[in-house]
Amino acid sequence: MTDPKSYRRGTVNPVNPEFQNANRVDKIGSVPIVLPIKEQGHTMQDWFPERVPFQTHRLKVSDLHTLYVEECGNPSGIPVLWCHGGPGSGIAPTHGRQFDPALYHIILFDQRGSGQSTPFAETRENTTQDLIADIEKIRELLKIESWIVAGRSWGTTLALLYAEQYPEKVRGLFLAAIFLCEKKSSEWIFQEGASAIYPEAWEAFSALVPSEKRTDIFAAYREMMGDSDAAIAEKAARAWMIWEATTSSVLSDPAAVASFTSPTVMLPMARLECHYLGKGGFIQEGQILSDASKIKDIPTVIVHGRYDMNCRFSEAWRLHKALPRSTLIDVPLGGHLANTPESIDAQMRAVQLLETFIK
């Protein structure tokens, strides 16, 4: 193993002198990674206070679907749209709290089938292209000319695809836990990859699948979650979410399991993940990186946990290399969860860095 002290240090970030004091920049080849560190005098930052919406909306986007949308923060501030993960997780209490409510007009929405949007856990008329169109309808509803688009996990997939389709509407990108929605991304978490890191959890997860179907665990679970027997579908959804929660944290986190298996999250997230991932996210294989040149001029900050077992660090690295105006912030001991002190601190500092690019 290489001694970390032997790594060659690069120059500090030239963009923001204040940011230099809280981070170091390592160079791997010619591409910098900003590494949050805890040194003497470095104070770990926490979320901004809990969101308080000043306006909520019920936006009808089709004959079937109506979205829940909320506006928080400063109505005259820099607009930022938050895209939640999953698909299907819905808005969570910590979402958007990386952004100072005194500075930002923070917009959040429950994607089709998620959270307070209706109908609940619905897969009909629910594709990535539908979600991108929904984001444009939200922008038009709120009369916003351009905005920062932010997201985490699946939310980064959606944010990137929206930006590639409407680059002129995007002032900046805040992306945490990159998911490029490639076939190998799904295979890593649902077939072979994370299973080698969490073999005991994988054994429990795969036990629900008959041995003759274990060559394609994902397909077997998709079949079970579509079963007409509600008990079978619910049992499969619970096992799916326990697996995801277990692999989301470097250390065991019972609170994550409880959150992932709550009734408002478990069914829509499991069902919609199967729906979307089973169709390759309704995009071409490799589409996000193939179209990266469309957003090469958009200031972008990327935050990713080095030990994220749900979204591999290599995806953040490949995206970073494809976007010349991006900065990748590594959370050295971070997993997938957003709410560890190190991850929160990295996200807060990433937003501060983004501010220097967009002002």
Q: Report the chain's mean pLDDT, rounded to a whole number.
A: 89
Q: How many distinct structural domains can be found in the chain?
A: 2
More confident residue, 325 or 265: 325
User: Is 22's pLDDT higher than 60?
Assistant: no
**Which pLDDT score is estimated for 358?**
85
Which one is catalytic: 153, 195, 206, 259? 153
For residues 162 and 211, state if they share a domain.
no
* Residue 200 buriedness (CB in 10 A; 0-12 / 13-18 / 19+): exposed
Q: Which domain holds residue 253?
A: 184-281
- By the 8 A CB rule, do 202 and 214 touch? no
**pTM for the structure as a whole:** 0.89
Between residues 72 and 226, which one has the greater pLDDT? 72
Q: In terms of domains, do 140 and 214 share one?
A: no
Could you tell me if residue 146 is inside a domain? Answer: yes
The CATH number of whichever domain residue 64 belongs to comes to 3.40.50.1820
Q: 215 with 124, same domain?
A: no
Indicate if 195 and 328 belong to the same structural domain: no
Residue 200 lies in a domain: yes
299 and 160 in a common domain: yes
Q: What tens digit of pLDDT does each residue of 84-136 get?
A: 999 999 999 999 999 999 999 999 999 999 999 999 999 999 999 999 999 99
232 shares its domain with 130: no
User: What's the confidence (pLDDT) of residue 23?
Assistant: 46
Is 336 tagged catalytic? yes
| H or E element that contains 238 | helix 230-248
Q: Which domain-ending residue is among 232, 247, 281?
A: 281
Give the end of a domain, one of 255, 281, 307.
281
Q: Does residue 202 sit in the same domain as residue 153? A: no
Do 205 and 80 fall into the same domain?
Answer: no
Averaged over 50-75, what is the pLDDT? 98
Same structural domain for residues 169 and 299? yes
Residue 197 in domain = yes
- Determine, yes or no, domain membership for 50: no
Please tell me the predicted confidence (pLDDT) of residue 162: 99
Identify whether residues 289 and 172 lie together within a single domain. yes
Same domain, 178 and 296: yes
- Whether 26 has a pLDDT exceeding 90, the answer reads no
Instruction: State the catalytic residue, choosing from 206, 253, 336, 345.
Output: 336
Whether residue 89 is contained in a domain is answered as yes
307 and 164 inside one domain: yes
- Mean pLDDT in residue range 309-318: 97
Helices 230-248 and 217-225, interaxial angle, to 10°? 140
β-pairing, 66-73 vs 104-109, is: antiparallel
Local confidence band at 256 (pLDDT 50, 70, 90 cut-offs): confident
**Confidence band of 359 (pLDDT split at 50, 70, 90):** confident
* Structure confidence at residue 21 as a pLDDT band (50, 70, 90): very low
Q: Which of 110, 291, 308, 345 is catalytic?
A: 308
C-alpha to C-alpha distance for 96 and 50, rounded to whole angstroms: 9
Of the two residues 42 and 201, the one the predictor is more confident about is 201
* 314 part of the active site: no
Q: Is 228 a catalytic residue?
A: no
In a domain, 13, yes or no: no
- pLDDT, one tens digit per residue, over 319-332 is 999 999 999 999 99
Indicate whether 310 belongs to any domain: yes
- Where are the extended beta strands (E) located within 46-156? 55-60, 66-73, 78-83, 104-109, 147-153
For residue 238, is it within any domain?
yes
**Which of 246, 265, 281 is where one domain is finished?**
281
pLDDT digits (tens, 9 = 90+) for 289-300: 999 999 999 999
Q: What is the mean pLDDT of residues 26-33?
A: 51
Tokens of 49: 């206070």
271-274-275-277 Cα dihedral, nearest 10 degrees: 150
- Which percentage of the chain shows pLDDT scores above 70? 88
Largest CA distance in the chain: 60
